[in-house]
């Protein structure tokens, strides 16, 4: 599906309700599978969370999670602990190119039985579920925090809990803290000191209703829209928490530099274009929130600001190599962009080209990050249906704001 975005002007005031956080939803879905009595509201309607639910409920020997990277990591740990159940866990062609050896090695060192059915170090995986007998493991911490969270989510079910020694610089710490906070809400005791995380065993009864906060990474696109709009434009989005567990909540501080003011009234987050940014260049380390890099780069492009973003090493193992994808597509719009293994450096043009086709690379964030640029120029988004991975209502919500598309 192609969507042609005309150069648009949005309403001065709009309100939207955003679906639940994919990150929180996938974590609490796994905890719900492990602990009866946990109920969930405001669950994400994303493809990823629906695939997670379907996989957990499946009685089949083979589970296909398609493009859902978080589900692949979390379910690898989950199925490893399902005593007596044999599962082949597979995914899309791209998923079979995304490394998982670090997590598999860690689980096998705890006593799991996981092997590769095709290429060493990559899905598909053959998982023979069993009781994991050991409780201490070492893990490289600078590749993906999802490996760490996968282990933490099953840790309370292990007989002796888990002591996790993290090696190297820790990536995306807020997402690790999110996992530990959710465990704490259930009653699980844990500590996170220096590079060691300890989780105590927990087998208590759970009687808890968990309300998932709306997704901050989805909010990023509305921050971008407001930043690219005239002063005075306001969009209210819900339901958000001032003290969010989500790492992408750092958007509040980042976009303040780009003229967007964030205020809360209960769970309603108001985004208002307060002034024109005074800076000529935005420099950020996004090691703790790499998923918002695409949105920020495109915002800077639309504001004609130079941009240096670092801490982006995890973007190379996402749905696509996001750094290469960004470079390819931003160049089409007439600007200079350089990338390294963990950074991007944007020189913004004085004039944006129009009528170009933006490829999405099976990556939901590529489609959504570029869409706000329709406030500045017209262009086409190819394979626009990819947004369903995390935000199925995205195009409808943009239309409600006043974006013109066909």
Task: Check whether 320 has a pLDDT greater than 90.
Answer: no
List the single range of 148-152, 269-273, 288-292, 348-352 with lowest mean pLDDT. 348-352
246 shares a domain with 186: no
Domain edge (last residue) among 211, 230, 254: 211
SS3 category, 227: helix
Domain edge (last residue) among 182, 211, 240: 211
Query: Given its phi and psi angles, is residue 176 left (phi above 0), alpha (psi -120 to 50 degrees) or beta?
Result: alpha
Here the tokens at position 63 are 């589970």
Q: How far apart are CA 13 and CA 32, in angstroms?
A: 38
Task: Give the chain's radius of gyration (CA, Å).
Answer: 21
324 shares a domain with 203: no
In a domain, 243, yes or no: yes
Q: Mean per-residue pLDDT for 362-366?
A: 93
Task: Check whether 111 has a pLDDT greater than 90.
Answer: yes
Q: Mean per-residue pLDDT for 180-197?
A: 96
372 shares a domain with 263: yes
Q: Is 321 a catalytic residue?
A: no
Strands (E), 113-228: 113-116, 125-128, 136-140, 162-167, 190-193, 196-199, 208-211
Look at residue 374 in the predicted model and tell me its pLDDT: 98
Q: Is the model more confident about 205 or about 295?
A: 295
Q: How far apart are CA 382 and CA 384, in angstroms?
A: 5
Q: Mean per-residue pLDDT for 60-66?
A: 96
Cα dihedral sign for 326, 286, 394, 364? Answer: positive
Task: Check whether 349 has a pLDDT greater than 90.
Answer: no
* Burial category of 159 from C-beta neighbours within 10 Å (exposed 0-12, middle 13-18, buried 19 and up): exposed
Contacts of 100 (CB under 8 A, 6+ apart): 72, 73, 76, 121, 122, 123, 125
Cα dihedral sign for 186, 141, 298, 281? Answer: positive
In a domain, 118, yes or no: yes
282 shares a domain with 169: no
335 shares a domain with 221: yes
Residue ranges in 100-141 assigned as alpha helix (H): 101-109
Tokens 């699980």, residue located: 188
In a domain, 99, yes or no: yes
Query: H or E segment at 262?
Result: strand 260-265
Here the tokens at position 122 are 């990559």
Q: Mean per-residue pLDDT for 347-361?
A: 93
234 shares a domain with 135: no
- How many structural domains does the chain have? 2
234 pLDDT tier (thresholds 50, 70, 90): very high
User: Across the chain, what does the average pLDDT equal?
Assistant: 95
252 shares a domain with 207: no
Q: Mean per-residue pLDDT for 274-279?
A: 93
Q: How far apart are CA 382 and CA 357, in angstroms?
A: 7
260 shares a domain with 188: no
In a domain, 102, yes or no: yes
328 shares a domain with 391: yes
Cis? peptide before 124, omega within 30° of 0 = yes
In a domain, 406, yes or no: no
- For 388, other C-beta atoms within 10 Å of its C-beta total 17
Look at residue 156 in the predicted model and tell me its pLDDT: 97
For residue 367, give its domain range: 3-20+213-401
147 shares a domain with 75: yes
In a domain, 151, yes or no: yes
Return the ∠ at Cα 159 (arms to 153 and 160), rounded to 5°. 85
Going by C-alpha positions, the residue among 249, 215, 219 that lies closest to residue 235 is 219
72 shares a domain with 142: yes
| pTM of the complete model beyond 0.85 | yes
* Burial category of 267 from C-beta neighbours within 10 Å (exposed 0-12, middle 13-18, buried 19 and up): middle
SS3 category, 234: strand
The residues facing 40 across adjacent strands are 210
Domain edge (last residue) among 159, 194, 211: 211
206 shares a domain with 234: no
Contacts of 115 (CB under 8 A, 6+ apart): 125, 126
List the single range of 106-110, 318-322, 365-369 with lowest mean pLDDT. 318-322
Choose, from 48, 105, 291, 397, the residue flagged as catalytic: 291
**CATH number, domain containing residue 296:** 3.65.10.10
Q: How far apart are CA 341 and CA 356, in angstroms?
A: 27
Q: How far apart are CA 145 and CA 176, in angstroms?
A: 6
């Amino acid at each position: 599906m192609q969507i042609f975005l005309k150069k648009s002007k949005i309403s001065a005031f709009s309100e939207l309700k955003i679906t639940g956080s994919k990150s929180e939803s996938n974590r609490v879905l796994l905890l719900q599978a492990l602990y009866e009595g946990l109920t969930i509201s405001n669950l994400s309607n994303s493809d990823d969370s629906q695939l997670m639910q379907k996989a957990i409920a499946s009685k089949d020997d083979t589970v296909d999670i398609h493009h859902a990277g978080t589900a692949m990591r979390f379910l690898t740990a989950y199925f490893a602990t399902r005593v007596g159940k044999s599962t082949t866990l597979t995914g899309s062609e791209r998923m079979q190119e995304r490394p998982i050896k670090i997590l598999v090695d860690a689980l096998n060192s705890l006593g799991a039985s996981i092997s590769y059915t095709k290429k060493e170090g990559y899905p598909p995986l053959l998982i023979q579920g069993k009781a994991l007998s050991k409780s201490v493991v070492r893990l490289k911490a600078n590749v993906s925090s999802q490996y760490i969270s996968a282990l933490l989510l099953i840790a309370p079910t292990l007989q002796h809990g888990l002591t996790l020694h993290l090696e190297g610089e820790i990536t995306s710490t807020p997402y690790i803290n999110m996992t530990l906070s959710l465990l704490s809400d259930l009653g699980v005791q844990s500590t996170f000191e220096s590079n060691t995380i300890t989780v105590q065993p927990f087998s208590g009864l759970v009687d808890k209703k968990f309300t998932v906060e709306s997704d901050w990474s989805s909010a990023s696109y509305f921050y971008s829209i407001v930043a690219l709009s005239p002063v005075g434009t306001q969009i209210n989005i819900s339901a958000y928490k001032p003290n969010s567990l989500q790492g992408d909540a750092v958007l509040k501080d980042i976009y303040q530099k780009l003229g967007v003011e964030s205020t809360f009234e209960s769970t309603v987050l108001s985004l208002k274009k307060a002034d024109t940014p005074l800076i000529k260049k935005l420099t950020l380390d996004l090691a703790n929130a790499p998923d918002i890099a695409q949105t920020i780069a495109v915002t800077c492009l639309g504001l004609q600001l130079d941009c240096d973003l670092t801490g982006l090493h995890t973007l190379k193992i996402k749905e696509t190599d996001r750094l290469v994808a960004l470079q390819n597509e931003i160049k089409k719009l007439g600007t200079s962009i350089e990338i390294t293994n963990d950074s991007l450096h944007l020189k913004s043009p004085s004039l944006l080209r129009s009528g170009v086709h933006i490829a999405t690379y099976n990556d939901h964030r590529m489609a959504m990050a570029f869409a706000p640029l329709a406030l500045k120029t017209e262009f086409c988004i190819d394979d626009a249906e990819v947004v369903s991975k995390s935000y199925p209502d995205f195009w409808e919500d943009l239309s409600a704001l006043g974006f013109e598309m066909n």
